[in-house]
Amino acid sequence: MPIFAFRAVQFVQRCSNWQQAVRLACKPLEEQCLVSQEYAEAIIAETEESGPWYILTSGFAMPHARPEQGVLSQETHLSLLRIRDNVLFEGHDAVGLLIVLAAGNGSDHLAKIQQLTQWLDEENRLEELLATDNETALLNAIH
């Protein structure tokens, strides 16, 4: 059982590009009024300017922007997107798992990143998540 809760878990076969993947991963947080639409656009703009610095390991990325760029909550929230056919970030590893981090404040996000990476390291969970090929398998791997 995760030590935190995902606000959304999505599984899709493919995304046409990394921008679509970022927008799709952010969408549930927008629908729950936890981030504005500008949040996904801020992530995309930063990526286009500085590259996908949030790719943490092969196959896994944690896109996020600063809280003032569209986070509407004081708490930190996570949205998970599994893409069966990995999406390509030009010049970088392809990614099949995105976890959007919407930090309510600057100090909370480092602790959340540490908790999340620790959880992903346990029992080879990251590899298990990246191997899922349907929504049921994804949900089972999370819990």
CB 22 within 8 A of CB 49: no
Among candidate residues 64, 77, 92, 143, the one labeled active-site is: 64
Distances (CA, A) of 114 to 35, 65, 79, 120: 22, 17, 16, 10
The backbone region for 27, taken as left when phi is positive above 0, alpha when psi lies in -120 to 50, beta otherwise, is: alpha
* Pair 16, 124: CB distance under 8 Å: no
Give yes or no: 64 in active site: yes
Token representation of residue 52: 């996908």
What is the β-pairing status of strands 95-102 and 59-61? parallel
**8 A C-beta contact, residue 64 and residue 46:** no
Residues marked as catalytic: 64
